């Protein structure tokens, strides 16, 4: 139980190339190759079909060429930054509201009973259905988009925080009380560290939803961002560019998710069973 696998460096440092790891890397590479092959096959079918010939630019070769153009000119930064800002702001607001409310409903029984039905009801409403209202309420398009992302992102964070609080070992709280902990200490020394992983798991789920909601939200009046770029490429019939933006959305989404997965691993204090 005291071997090297449990020392912090082994968890944080670069992973060693064990046979298992080589295998999982190889499988990932193979999976991507299969996806590319299917994409290429689809492109070939479309190009040889007289009815769909106009859409041949969706195939891998034109797409990757357009992608290279977007990356080379630095345009990728220009179109991603506004989107990342909107998702980041939305997630931040969602966490700032969701974590405290989640802790409160996790700790206070009557509040949980009171809010359960309304929250489940609100959660099931597609964030995009708020779109017309958001546009009326907010004076800027950016404000409306951030609102839509917040609405999408708040529920996973809130419910995950609440579930984390309910799983806290009651004896941890008793020990703290016995040692004279103030409510401030209780929150920052016991509760928040205890549920850090639950919060991050909620943020990871929220990010997935937010990233999905982002693109249709950016079909709104804004003139920047990844969703706008897709809409714009469609209007100018620039299909290779459209497909390239789709690839960029996938790559950024995957990278953000991996980042959160790494954070979860870093803050996870649960030891694997000995």
Task: Tell me which residues touch other proteins (CB under 8 A).
Answer: 1-2, 6, 169, 171-172, 174-182, 185, 189-190, 193-194, 196, 269-271
Q: What is the DSSP string of 133-183?
A: HHHHH-SSHHHHHHHHHHHHHHHHHHHHHHHHHHTS-HHHHHHHHHTT--H
Closest distance between other proteins and the C-beta of residue 103, in Å?
Answer: 17
Closest distance between other proteins and the C-beta of residue 168, in Å?
Answer: 11
The span from the CA of 259 to the CA of 108, in Å, is 33
Q: Of the two residues 130 and 172, which places its CB atom closer to other proteins in the complex?
A: 172
Q: Of the two residues 72 and 271, which places its CB atom closer to other proteins in the complex?
A: 271
Q: Of the two residues 126 and 182, which places its CB atom closer to other proteins in the complex?
A: 182
Q: Of the two residues 8 and 74, which places its CB atom closer to other proteins in the complex?
A: 8
The span from the CA of 172 to the CA of 162, in Å, is 17
Closest distance between other proteins and the C-beta of residue 174, in Å?
Answer: 7
Phi then psi for residue 205, to 5 deg, are -65, -40
Helix (H) or strand (E) holding 194: helix 192-217
What lies within 8 Å, CB to CB, of 4 at 6+ separation is 10
Closest distance between other proteins and the C-beta of residue 169, in Å?
Answer: 7
Closest distance between other proteins and the C-beta of residue 193, in Å?
Answer: 5
The span from the CA of 91 to the CA of 203, in Å, is 7
Instruction: Please calculate the CA angle 198-162-264 and round it to the nearest 5 degrees.
Output: 5
Q: Of the two residues 195 and 217, which places its CB atom closer to other proteins in the complex?
A: 195
Q: Of the two residues 3 and 51, which places its CB atom closer to other proteins in the complex?
A: 3
Closest distance between other proteins and the C-beta of residue 163, in Å?
Answer: 18
The span from the CA of 124 to the CA of 99, in Å, is 19
């Amino acid at each position: 139980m005291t071997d090297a696998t449990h020392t912090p460096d082994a968890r944080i440092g670069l992973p060693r190339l064990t046979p298992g790891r080589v295998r999982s890397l190889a499988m990932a590479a193979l999976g991507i190759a299969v996806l590319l092959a299917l994409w290429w096959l689809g492109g070939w079918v479309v190009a040889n079909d007289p009815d769909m010939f106009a859409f041949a630019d969706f195939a891998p070769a034109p797409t990757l060429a357009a992608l290279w153009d977007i990356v080379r000119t630095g345009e990728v930064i220009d179109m991603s930054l506004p989107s990342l800002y909107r998702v980041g702001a939305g997630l931040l607001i969602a966490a700032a509201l969701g974590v405290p409310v989640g802790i409160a409903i996790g700790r206070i029984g009557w509040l949980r009973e009171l809010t359960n039905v309304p929250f489940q009801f609100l959660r099931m409403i597609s964030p995009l259905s708020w779109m017309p209202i958001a546009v009326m309420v907010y004076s800027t398009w950016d404000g409306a988009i951030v609102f839509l992302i917040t609405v999408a992102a708040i529920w996973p964070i809130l419910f995950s925080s609440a579930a984390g609080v309910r799983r806290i070992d009651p004896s941890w709280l008793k020990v703290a009380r016995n040692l004279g902990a103030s409510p401030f200490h209780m929150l920052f020394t016991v509760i928040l560290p205890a549920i850090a992983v639950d919060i991050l798991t909620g943020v990871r789920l929220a990010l997935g939803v937010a990233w999905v909601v982002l693109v249709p939200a950016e079909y709104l009046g804004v003139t920047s961002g990844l969703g706008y770029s897709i809409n714009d490429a469609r209007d100018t019939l620039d299909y290779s560019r459209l497909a390239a933006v789709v690839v960029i959305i996938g790559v950024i989404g995957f990278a953000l998710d991996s980042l959160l997965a790494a954070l979860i691993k870093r803050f996870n204090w649960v030891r694997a069973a000995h």
